[in-house]
Structure 1
Amino acid sequence: MNGRNNSESIWRKVLIALTSSVITGVLLMLFIPSYIERNSIQPENMNNGTADAQQMDFKNMTETQPVRDNTMDLTQNGELDVTEVASKVMPSVVGISTSVVNPDNLFESNQQEAWSVGSGVIVSENGYILTNHHVVGSDPNKIIVTLANGKTINATSQWSDPTLDLAVIKINAKGLKAAALGDADRLRVGETAVAIGNPLGLQFQRTVTAGIVSAVNRTISISTDGRENYMEGLIQTDASINPGNSGGPLINSKGEVIGINTIKVTSAEGMGFAIPINITKPVITGFIDNGKYATPYMGLFAYDKVVAQYVTQDMDLSKGVYVAKVDPDSPVYKSGVRSGDIITHMGDVEVNTMMQLREEMFKCGPGSECTVTFIRDGKVRKAEFRLENRTDDGLITR
């Protein structure tokens, strides 16, 4: 009897299990279709079938992975690595060889030419090239430009400013690759800086060095045309700059020229300097649009707070520029500005270096009506004057 009861119990359990399975299957058949319909992708989102579904999955993935978004933003912002920067700007970098005849031997039959080598950067497709004044000199006898393809072309000097150590030369050529110009006012200390030039001569032409922007608004003392001169507002970099790099571009990570390399401190390692590109933009625009540029003349020379401390030991200059010299025949002298005044604004723009003051002056151009705000004996004053065309500002260059 026990065996029979056990058999009936087993069959009863099997029957219950089968019944449960059937009921579960029926329920699934009834409810799963409506669940799928409610939660499926609607037809308007399925126009492209699998491709759109994959795109939607990628979107969801990027929303939960901000690192991928940051990488995409860098690409959108035009950030390049050093190899890409070099590839982009290299065709615009030139070698410049300049000869000067010793003026003491002008009447001798065996005149000796002194050659110097530097760099430059093409700023227009029709042959305008930006470089340093000290690369081409005040009165060059001959200027030869070597292009990236090895071709050499004679050049002529178009414009030069010894105080800024900048010059523009021109070659007779078309279809050249002009370098893109950046904004030096937006530089940040620590960002990438790439220099391209011809250190130690054409044997090492178009050498690429890289580093960072070490500092901005630096002031250094140099000798220009036999006279002491202070250069202000410079970009300092640890990218290697050597003799021959002068006149070549300093470039940011977007492949834009942010400065023109000018000098290095020979007594220290990794201390090179470049002139911010912004001051050259009105000059370049003038040549591209009109084939010439007339340098505006205000008639003063001023120092920033760093240099002013050496000139006047008792002055604590917190803002503005200290007027060191004024040409008695200049427009600004006639308007009432004198040595010892502190200029704080040109127009509505605050100025704290002579470089910034020149930049605003270059934007205005000769013939423009200008206003400077200055401080004398603790009182704020204004002076209005008309900029003239500079012929020689040697009288006000320290």
Structure 2
Amino acid sequence: MILLALISAMIGSVIGAYVAPNYLYGRYIPYPQAPGIQGAPQRVEIVTRGEELTVIPAVAKKALPSVVGITTVTLERDIFSRTRRGQGVGTGVIVDSRGYILTNSHVVNDGRSEEVMVLFYDGENLKADVLWNDPMLDLAVLKVAAQNLPVADLGDSDKLTVGEIAVAIGNPLGLTFERTVTAGIISGLERSIPLTQFESIEGLIQTDASINPGNSGGPLLNAEGAVIGINTAKIQTGEGLGFAIPINTARPIVDEFIERGEFTKVYLGIRGINVQQYIQSYGDQLGTKQGVYVHQVTPETPVARAGMQDGDVIVKIAGQKIDTMGQLVRQMYKYRPGDSVKIEIIRDGEPVTLDVLLEAAPRSE
């Protein structure tokens, strides 16, 4: 009898101490309340509903529908002078719902591709036309016959700071790995990478997000999912060094295509080389170590009418310092036909300022 009582007591203590608080109270019987205390806390079970996204998955979810794969076919000649079809793969980003797509110039073989196809997020494949490209900027605008396409938000690359999140989307190593997402930070700004002895791409965004062949033309995004750059794998450097062309370089071009359906480039009317290149070939006799040496002024052009001469050195445009031909080309994309700019030159060692009225570039320019 005593043993039965002990066993019953033990079972009761287990129920009271463990089973009741965890399984009975709050479900089948109310919680006991201490004397004099009203509304003792109840056991609350929290159920999470909906999606919980961190920054990178949220950026990817927002941007992926506007990222496209690009395949190209180019006719090439082999060592036996036989024509063969070469194929290429890259990435692009939709910048207008009517079918305008931004990518790299080298993705479309600098406009020389025989065929350009665009693969969309929903699996549709459409032929594209190359409306514009510039190898020096390494940018191109394509157009497909489509409407109501998902569009990427364009950010402001002038507001970037080193250390902020950067997310790259592209097709590394071909469409087998289409729409791969990689992430890192903004590692540096205003980077200049030489391509040849006298040619470089300047003003680049540096990131440690992985950018490989096939990523070219895809977007570099900030934490809000806005495009801050166009990735380029044209520049092959060390591991952990990726580069993107700031979106603000492309924005004037994109905006004019969206507004007018075409882009009108302005021109100066010169043939020029970097001053550094001139110095290496002919010696230091220009009165400046940076700028663009004007080898030839074409008659009846904007700068000819403003009084520019062969042998002048362009050092500033609208107050913006010009050290190289690449900087001059990028600067000119900010202007439209009819704009007037002040161009500062060095002539015979002396500074001169010219007022230049810009005109639309001839088709051959």
| TM-score category, normalised to shorter length | 0.7 to 0.9
Q: Give the letter for the 2:142 counterpart.
A: I
In structure 2, relative to structure 1, the CA distance for the partners of 1:322 and 1:352 (3 Å cut) is closer
Flag structure 1 segments of 5+ consecutive residues without an equivalent. Answer: 1-79, 394-398
In structure 2, relative to structure 1, the CA distance for the partners of 1:189 and 1:304 (3 Å cut) is farther
How far is the alpha carbon of 1:174 from its aligned partner?
Answer: 0.7
Q: Would you tell me which structure has more helix in proportion to its own residues?
A: 1
The answer for the alignment partner of 2:147 in structure 1 is 174
The answer for the alignment partner of 2:178 in structure 1 is 205
User: Among 267, 270, 287, which residue is 1:297 paired with?
Assistant: 267
How far is the alpha carbon of 1:323 from its aligned partner?
Answer: 0.7
Report the count of equivalent residues. Answer: 305
The answer for the alignment partner of 1:122 in structure 2 is 94
User: Among 66, 71, 83, which residue is 2:57 paired with?
Assistant: 83
For the residue of structure 2 that corresponds to 1:289, the secondary structure is helix
User: Residues of 1 paired with 2:332 and 2:142: CA distance?
Assistant: 22
**Equivalent pair of 1:327/1:333 in contact (CA under 8 Å):** no
* Greater shift in the superposed pair: 380-389 or 199-208: 380-389
2:245 maps to 1:275: yes
**Equivalent pair of 1:232/1:354 in contact (CA under 8 Å):** no
Flag structure 2 segments of 5+ consecutive residues without an equivalent. Answer: 1-53
User: Among 303, 312, 332, which residue is 1:332 paired with?
Assistant: 303
In structure 2, relative to structure 1, the CA distance for the partners of 1:289 and 1:377 (3 Å cut) is same
User: Residues of 2 paired with 1:384 and 1:229: CA distance?
Assistant: 28
In structure 2, relative to structure 1, the CA distance for the partners of 1:232 and 1:100 (3 Å cut) is same
In structure 2, relative to structure 1, the CA distance for the partners of 1:119 and 1:222 (3 Å cut) is same
The answer for the alignment partner of 1:242 in structure 2 is 212
For the residue of structure 1 that corresponds to 2:231, the secondary structure is strand
Q: Give the letter for the 1:263 counterpart.
A: A
2:71 maps to 1:97: yes
Post-superposition CA distance 1:265-308 (Å, at most 9, x none): 54511112111111211211111111111221123556599x99
Post-superposition CA distance 1:72-100 (Å, at most 9, x none): xxxxxxxx811111111111110000101
**Equivalent pair of 1:342/1:376 in contact (CA under 8 Å):** no
**Equivalent pair of 1:373/1:381 in contact (CA under 8 Å):** yes
In structure 2, relative to structure 1, the CA distance for the partners of 1:284 and 1:350 (3 Å cut) is same
For the residue of structure 2 that corresponds to 1:199, the secondary structure is coil
For the residue of structure 2 that corresponds to 1:247, the secondary structure is coil
Q: Give the letter for the 2:184 counterpart.
A: G
Q: Give the letter for the 1:332 counterpart.
A: V
Taking the TM superposition and a 5 Å limit, the aligned residue runs for 1:189-268 are 189-222=162-195, 229-263=199-233, 266-268=236-238
The structure that has the greater radius of gyration is 1
TM-score (norm 2): 0.73
User: Residues of 2 paired with 1:267 and 1:256: CA distance?
Assistant: 26
User: Residues of 1 paired with 2:333 and 2:353: CA distance?
Assistant: 20
Taking the TM superposition and a 5 Å limit, the aligned residue runs for 1:345-360 are 346-349=317-320, 357-360=328-331
**Equivalent pair of 1:295/1:362 in contact (CA under 8 Å):** yes
Q: Give the letter for the 2:91 counterpart.
A: S
* Greater shift in the superposed pair: 256-265 or 136-145: 256-265
Q: Percent identity?
A: 43
TM-score (norm 1): 0.67
Post-superposition CA distance 1:60-119 (Å, at most 9, x none): xxxxxxxxxxxxxxxxxxxx81111111111111000010112689x98xx532110000
The answer for the alignment partner of 1:387 in structure 2 is 358
How far is the alpha carbon of 1:371 from its aligned partner?
Answer: 1.8
The answer for the alignment partner of 1:364 in structure 2 is 335
**Equivalent pair of 2:345/2:351 in contact (CA under 8 Å):** yes
User: Residues of 2 paired with 1:193 and 1:375: CA distance?
Assistant: 41
In structure 2, relative to structure 1, the CA distance for the partners of 1:99 and 1:250 (3 Å cut) is same
Q: What RMSD in Å do the two structures reach over aligned CA positions? A: 3.3
* Greater shift in the superposed pair: 280-289 or 294-303: 294-303
In structure 2, relative to structure 1, the CA distance for the partners of 1:143 and 1:343 (3 Å cut) is same
The answer for the alignment partner of 1:72 in structure 2 is none
For the residue of structure 1 that corresponds to 2:209, the secondary structure is coil
**Equivalent pair of 2:294/2:313 in contact (CA under 8 Å):** no
* Greater shift in the superposed pair: 208-217 or 150-159: 208-217
In structure 2, relative to structure 1, the CA distance for the partners of 1:175 and 1:221 (3 Å cut) is same
**Equivalent pair of 1:278/1:359 in contact (CA under 8 Å):** no
Q: Give the letter for the 1:156 counterpart.
A: D
2:291 maps to 1:322: yes
The answer for the alignment partner of 2:15 in structure 1 is none
In structure 2, relative to structure 1, the CA distance for the partners of 1:172 and 1:387 (3 Å cut) is same
User: Residues of 2 paired with 1:206 and 1:262: CA distance?
Assistant: 15
For the residue of structure 2 that corresponds to 1:363, the secondary structure is coil
In structure 2, relative to structure 1, the CA distance for the partners of 1:92 and 1:187 (3 Å cut) is same
In structure 2, relative to structure 1, the CA distance for the partners of 1:338 and 1:187 (3 Å cut) is farther
